[in-house]
Structure 1
Amino acid sequence: MPSTIAVTGATGAVGGAVAHLLSEAGIAPRLVVRSPERAPSLPDAEVVQATYRDGAAAEAALAGVDVLFMVSASESSDRVDEHRSFIDAAARAGVQHVVYTSFLGAAPDAVFTLARDHWFTEEHLRASGMGHTILRDSFYLDFLPMLAGEDGVIRGPAGQGRLAAVAREDVARSAAVVLQDPAAHAGQTYEITGREALTVPEAIEVIREVTGRGLRYVDETVPEAYESRRVYGAPDWEVHAWVSTYTAIAQGQLATITDTVERLTGRPPLTLRELLSQSRAA
């Protein structure tokens, strides 16, 4: 009997792409979403409403599901608690295998503070008794142009550190492969990266060449980075996350290049230039 595959985050970029890829492969996924009216319209797909915080609703939504694609929740001060609640609901519902989108270098002492959240989520998933595959995604390539403020400046203490960012499209393609044969990937932790590692100035130069945007980089000190972000009035945990994105780059924690995407999908991941060119041609 074919497995029932549930996809969370289907109203977002990665989850939505995974849902479409499964549909194209002839699989009708169950889409677990907060807002059913925003779910993609796919042939024979079932749409159910649940949130990570509501354990009872999540358990009901996952009843009869064999394989679950769990996109990490929106960043928040209690995201780990949300993740734990949802993982527990999945276990109670009888889910056999969870594919979770984590972050490259997840560890309890990771420089990028949000990577610590992913580590604790991974540990809870490992202890759940369910089969699992962890996709440790690098920073998303798609977000690089969005780092610039309204003044066209990317500010942060990244120095000359390198970043092997990965396109969301490549993350989705990798996840779709794993979801269709989870037993072949059981217990695996995959580092999902791009095929080049760029400094922030190098990335800006590519963006300039392809899009014509006049971006520039200001290499802040750490105190300057905190000061420049004070105007947003964000909570401390969020400001620490913003700044530590750059310090993680500076310290080389996001420079890792792997061939995981090509091994899983048979196609190399997109470079920044290829992604931007593809977007302009669309």
Structure 2
Amino acid sequence: MTQLRIGVTGATGRVGGRVARSLVSAGRDVRLLVRDASRVPGLEGPGRVDVAVCEYRDGGASRRALDGLDVVLMVSGAEAEDRVDEHRTFVDAAAAAGVGHLVYTSFAGASATSTFTLGRDHWATEQHVRASGVAHHTFLRDNLYADFVPFLAGEDGVIRGPAGEGRMAGVAIADVADVATAVLLDPDAHRDATYVLTGPEAFTLAEAAAVASRVTGRTLRYEPETLEEAYASRARYGAPDWQVEAWVSTYTAIAAGEMARVSDDVARVTGRPARSLEDVLTPAG
């Protein structure tokens, strides 16, 4: 049987990099689509690797990089005001190149009315994929990354935001990558599926801070903010309005309960339980 031709974007990042390593270790040939060839990681295994340079915003370069591929992991682009336009350009290039299956890392609360403003971007991208002419898709709707919990805290160890007592079912980056790998290895089994990727439980930010404190040894705590306080505390960064809205709405989406759903999709796709927050934050032995 002819081996599927697999493409992986974001191979210099944490999701795409883990996926690329897993595929090569499994003996699969992979094309890495990257912005900077000098940052491509060394990959060991029986699978072969070739590298193509492109940016999502460059339709021509993307079309050439995608040529001949059957299935492609499209890791969502870096946060930007025009990210949806960049995504659309890349998706159109995939359709023009004859890619048969796109695997897109979306967001667990993706909808046209998501409280989290970037969730609306992911919804718009999903809709464009559906309408693009690419025959099949798989959407990986990731919750917030559990790995980033310690980084929500400032230098004083305080996580501040208007999340109230809301809960989030944070997912391990490794679990997202492992699900993506499983889909790329057998895309026909996941045609036109949408998976909600979460950890095994939903936790408040106060509970997350307690777990992180116990596991990492750094004392963290959560301090709720009002909306007014949240905007004021972030004003000092001088970020554009859309970025500040994204930061603040991360917390208000938690408060609204839009990140609380716990799914068993990680276990169903990978065949093993999702990693807990404690699993994620415990140093590898």
Alignment TM-score, normalising by the size of structure 1: 0.98
Query: How far apart are residue 24 of structure 1 and its match?
Result: 1.5
The amino acid that maps onto 2:125 is T
Structure 1 residue 66 and structure 2 residue 67: aligned? no
5 Å-filtered alignment, 1:158-169, equals 158-169=163-174
Structure 1 residue 261 and structure 2 residue 266: aligned? yes
The amino acid that maps onto 1:228 is S
**Equivalent position of 1:234 in the other structure:** 239
Whole-Å separation in 2 of the counterparts to 1:46 and 1:137: 28
CA-to-aligned-CA distance 1:55-99 (integer Å, 9 cap, x gap)? 000000011001000000000000000000000001111101000
Whole-Å separation in 2 of the counterparts to 1:223 and 1:138: 26
The amino acid that maps onto 2:18 is A
The amino acid that maps onto 2:38 is E
Query: How far apart are residue 181 of structure 1 and its match?
Result: 1.1
5 Å-filtered alignment, 1:19-30, equals 19-30=20-31
Query: How far apart are residue 230 of structure 1 and its match?
Result: 0.3
Q: Which 4+ residue blocks in structure 1 deviate beyond 4 angstroms?
A: none
**Equivalent position of 2:117 in the other structure:** 113
- Correspondence for 1:211 among 202, 208, 216: 216
Structure 1 residue 12 and structure 2 residue 13: aligned? yes
Residue 236 of structure 2 aligns to a residue in which SS? Answer: helix
The amino acid that maps onto 2:264 is D
The amino acid that maps onto 1:87 is V
5 Å-filtered alignment, 1:121-136, equals 121-130=125-134, 131-136=136-141
- Root mean square deviation, CA, Å: 0.8
Report how many residues are paired.
280
**Equivalent position of 2:195 in the other structure:** 190
Structure 1 residue 90 and structure 2 residue 94: aligned? yes
The amino acid that maps onto 1:46 is D
Whole-Å separation in 2 of the counterparts to 1:47 and 1:114: 29
- Correspondence for 2:105 among 101, 104, 107: 101
Whole-Å separation in 2 of the counterparts to 1:211 and 1:139: 19
Query: How far apart are residue 281 of structure 1 and its match?
Result: 3.1
CA-to-aligned-CA distance 1:189-221 (integer Å, 9 cap, x gap)? 111111010100000000111111111211001
Whole-Å separation in 2 of the counterparts to 1:117 and 1:89: 19
Alignment TM-score, normalising by the size of structure 2: 0.97
The amino acid that maps onto 1:256 is R
Structure 1 residue 245 and structure 2 residue 246: aligned? no
Instruction: Specify every segment of 5 or more residues in structure 2 that has no aligned partner in the other structure, as ranges.
Output: none
